[in-house]
Amino acid sequence: MGKARRELLDTAVHGERTMLLGVYSSLTKQSQQYYFEEFENLAKTAGITPVHRMFVKLREYEPATFFTKGKLQEIIEAVKEHEISEVVVSTPLTPLQERNLQEMIGCTVFDRTQLILEIFQQAAHTAEGKIQVEMAELEYLKTRLAGRGFEMAQQEGFVGAVGPGETQKEHLRRYYEGKLVQARKRLKQLAQSRETQRKQRLRNGIPLVCLVGYTNAGKSSLINMLTRSEVLVEDKLFATLDTTTRELYIAPHKKALISDTVGFISELSHKLIESFKSTLDELKYAQMLIHVIDVSNPAWREQVVTVNETLKDLGVKVPTVFAANKSDKLDAEAREKLVDDLVGYQPYVITSALSKEGVQGLINYISAHI
């Protein structure tokens, strides 16, 4: 997006004096400890090395600044003490809140959505993935225009501007919308190719199975184990953003296609989900979903809720089997308790991509139900 993006976001390179500001409020659905850990992992994945960390708990919040006066003063003092040049906040902020905070704190402020966007930039490698990230960025930038005031109300005052006295804000809005139109056209062409492939698959009677789950639940490892392929596997959030499809032999003369999808995460902006809708719509055409759960994570129940809510928002209603993954990380006592915990998550198969536990059982289940 070039100069316009850099001027508005300035996210190309993080400053050397970064503070992570973890915020736990009544709006947060996860446990406090895990929420902060996840936020730190997001920052690490984005390549941020903070010089200071600050974690606050809010019982109430102010619409204009998100933080109450007392908490805001604590943040201002921490920024001055540690000579902070940018603050990365763990929660999404409105354009107005972000702008007010930057003026009051006296440094650059990034919110959760922008942090995830940076990770998406790094993780997208295919043409489709890059276009979807570009669209997500443009949509984000459009919302930020609403929070920019006087300095963008100045009239352009040059020959060739559309209409007399076009403001910089109006110019940028047209610029972003034009870029979005171009991106949608390119994505539509790729979607048409996907539709052709889907029709061919249906004519050939090849069923589709899709993996869904929270980010870093082990979907890529599981698809590698099921199909003996080599999809990128890294122990970090959003390691793979691009959809991967492989052949899965579920019987000597019976095969299916299995696809990995972008991982979900709590407080994922609807604009980000909307940008990936063309890819995620493929879930609606699957014969089965494998919902991969990282059962070694203490917050796995909250993660299941997040994934289910996202699927509901997308209008996906497909038969689902739970893959209780990373069982190799559990000791004997935890495994025994897991069986009781999974009673409410039927049907399920306990799996481990590392030890291969349950992989054949999962293949057998797929073969019997599609």
Residue 187, strand partner residues:
none
Pair (112, 35) in one structural domain: yes
Tell me, what's the pLDDT at 355? 86
CA 266 to CA 310: how far, in whole Å?
9
pLDDT mean for each 10 residues of the chain (370 residues): 40 68 84 89 91 92 91 95 95 92 93 89 79 85 65 48 61 85 84 74 82 89 82 57 79 85 82 75 89 93 92 91 94 90 94 88 91
Query: What single string gives the DSSP state of each residue in 185-222?
Result: HHHHHHHHHHHHHHHHHHHTT--EEEEEEBTTSSHHHH
The tally of CA atoms less than 13 A away on the side-chain side of residue 256 is 23
CA 293 to CA 326: how far, in whole Å?
8
| Spatial CB neighbours of 172, under 8 Å, sequence gap ≥ 6 | 4, 8, 141, 145, 152
Measured from the Cβ of residue 232, the count of other Cβ atoms closer than 10 Å reads 12
Pair (242, 361) in one structural domain: yes
CB 294 within 8 A of CB 312: no
Q: Which residue matches tokens 């917050």?
A: 299
**Helix, strand, coil shares, percent, the chain, to 5:** 50, 15, 35
Task: Give the closest residue to 216 by CA, choosing from 241, 243, 238.
Answer: 238
| The last residue of a domain, from among 86, 119, 152 | 119
Q: Is 193 contained in some domain? A: no
Pair (11, 98) in one structural domain: yes
- DSSP assignment, residue 263? P
Pair (219, 361) in one structural domain: yes
Residue 319 DSSP SS3: coil
Give the dihedral sign, CA 228/231/235/240: negative
CB 305 within 8 A of CB 29: yes
Tell me, what's the pLDDT at 6? 38
Q: Is 192 contained in some domain? A: no
Q: What angle do CA 122, 123, 124 make, to 5 degrees?
A: 100
CB 357 within 8 A of CB 328: yes
CA 39 to CA 92: how far, in whole Å?
12
Tell me, what's the pLDDT at 156? 47
Instruction: Work out how many domains the chain is built from and give that number.
Output: 3
Pair (221, 332) in one structural domain: yes
The amino acid occupying position 263 is: G
Tell me, what's the pLDDT at 158? 45
Pair (69, 89) in one structural domain: yes
CA 142 to CA 121: how far, in whole Å?
18
Pair (216, 359) in one structural domain: yes
Tell me, what's the pLDDT at 54? 96
Give the range of the structural domain holding residue 77, as residue numbers without chain letter: 2-119
Q: What pTM does this model have?
A: 0.81
CA 1 to CA 179: how far, in whole Å?
8
Pair (57, 177) in one structural domain: no
| The last residue of a domain, from among 79, 99, 119 | 119
Query: What single string gives the DSSP state of each residue in 272-307?
Result: HHHHTHHHHGGGGG-SEEEEEEETTSTTHHHHHHHH
Residue 155 DSSP SS3: strand
| Spatial CB neighbours of 364, under 8 Å, sequence gap ≥ 6 | none
Q: Is 237 contained in some domain? A: yes
Pair (111, 128) in one structural domain: no
Pair (261, 326) in one structural domain: yes
Q: Is 188 contained in some domain? A: no
CATH number at residue 105: 3.40.50.11060
Pair (94, 160) in one structural domain: no
CB 143 within 8 A of CB 271: yes
Q: Is 195 contained in some domain? A: no
Q: What angle do CA 323, 327, 332 make, to 5 degrees?
A: 135
Q: Is 194 contained in some domain? A: no
CA 14 to CA 180: how far, in whole Å?
26
CA 6 to CA 236: how far, in whole Å?
26
Helix residue ranges per DSSP H, 54-126: 69-81, 95-105, 112-123
Pair (103, 136) in one structural domain: no
CB 311 within 8 A of CB 280: no
| The last residue of a domain, from among 119, 134, 163 | 119
Tell me, what's the pLDDT at 313? 87
CATH number at residue 229: 3.40.50.300
Q: What angle do CA 335, 265, 241 make, to 5 degrees?
A: 105
CA 208 to CA 260: how far, in whole Å?
11
